[in-house]
Amino acid sequence: MSDDRVVPVILSGGVGTRLWPLSREGFPKQFWPLVGSSTMLQETVGRATGPGFAPPMIICAEAHRFLVAEQLREAGVAGGRIVLEPAARNSAPAIAAAAILAVEENPQALLWIMAADAAIKDLPALHAALDRAAAAARAGHIVAFGMRPTTPETGFGYMEAGAPLPGLEGASAIASFVEKPDAARAAEFLAGGRHLWNAGMFVARASTLLAELERLAPELVSAVRAAVETAGRDLDFVRLGAAFAEAPSISIDYAVMERTAHAAVVPADMGWSDVGSWDALWQVSPKDAAGNATHGPTSLVDAKNCYVRSEGILTTVVGLEDVIVVATEDAVLALHRDRAQDVKKLVDQLKAQKRPEAGAHRRMYRPWGHYEGLIQGDRFQVKKILVRPGEKLSLQKHYHRAEHWVVVNGTAIVERDAERLLLRENESVYLPLGCVHRLENPGMIPLTLIEVQAGAYLGEDDIVRFEDTYGRA
């Protein structure tokens, strides 16, 4: 008996540059709780769980593999596959890899492809649209979800709905695709009622997708097949081979949807937003009587229609209207709401200036927990390290630095050359340059310690690993 469950395929390769300074390459927007208590990735996975759904397949960058694994664990999602891209190659190669892997297990696999970072308010409407899309996909179509526009948005692509598909309720052919229009044309689309936002969400048989990719982009499929054939599998990860980087960088819209005779669209009203900018986040956030949306320690006086967010420090606004203020541990952003799309220009400028804040947070996540930079000086730096219960770092040594660890919360087991030490709160250990060492949390609560590094070179690449629980040695 064939497995006709829907396979959720979640594309988690985006960086979310326009939501800087919160979203950065090291920790993009899909890993943040932007519109609720769960992260965007967790909310996306949650929409595709339960009867009728197979475990999800997440496509992400190698650098984010442990973030994805930890967030799935926190959400109670088991059995999912995490597929690692060796290079970012846009949506078509990622979808091709998912289709090839799905067909290996079930030649009739039905894929529901979606981005990891969209907000959806009306889940019953989403699932009703999915039912209509699945029926059309089982009939051989590649079905896009078309969101009915609510504003003359110039930041989205559009699809024009064509003739209804016979025998498939709520599904239509796609008459045309339109790139991001100017304001006047977007207003025409809104008034006309035939054009829909392209949400980047699709349903299709994996076999249908592969057949069309083979016909329309054979060189792409060839590279991706080679990457799947040479893929490594460790822990919960499928690590695509190097050939993946040889695939053309192209979206599924350009590669297939705009060229195939099998394209269809299901219109939907579900309160969808791509949360692609701070203004978009303001629009979907709860607001006070003055139209202000806030998050974190904030205080506002005589402010109107503002979005104010803090990830730590008290952030205050007085007498402003239609502004965005975002404060993180190492950067502050202030701008007018109608300039929200220009944050990308700012990030490009920061990258040109080689500012580390352009892509990395002070807090860096690892499979065992995280560390946070506190102080950096000439030949020394201070970090706060948190190790989750039962986790341990790799057995390692450094050529250029010595370290001093002070336990401030929890219990630590420290291996230092031939020694094995048990450290409790307020106890410390010195690790001389070149010693082989390892840190472990044997307790039931998180282990927090302060690490002082001293030496000629303090880069994270000064690590020689001998053993590692997470396959990094």
- Alpha-carbon Rg for the chain, nearest whole angstrom, is 24
Contact criterion met (CB below 8 Å) for 205 and 137: yes
The reported pLDDT for the residue numbered 400 is 94
pLDDT in tens, 176-220: 888 888 888 888 888 888 889 998 999 999 999 999 999 999 999
Q: What CA–CA distance (Å, rounded) separates 275 from 277? A: 6
The reported pLDDT for the residue numbered 363 is 83
Q: What CA–CA distance (Å, rounded) separates 271 from 284? A: 9
Q: For all residues of the chain together, what is the average pLDDT?
A: 92
The reported pLDDT for the residue numbered 2 is 56
The reported pLDDT for the residue numbered 149 is 87
The reported pLDDT for the residue numbered 332 is 97
Contact criterion met (CB below 8 Å) for 324 and 333: yes
Does pLDDT of 472 surpass 80?
no
Give the pair of three-digit tokens for residue 296.
């974190």
The pTM assigned to this predicted structure is 0.86
pLDDT in tens, 127-153: 999 999 999 999 999 999 999 888 888
Does pLDDT of 459 surpass 90?
no
pLDDT in tens, 328-371: 989 999 999 999 999 999 999 999 999 989 998 888 888 899 99
Q: What CA–CA distance (Å, rounded) separates 301 from 294? A: 13
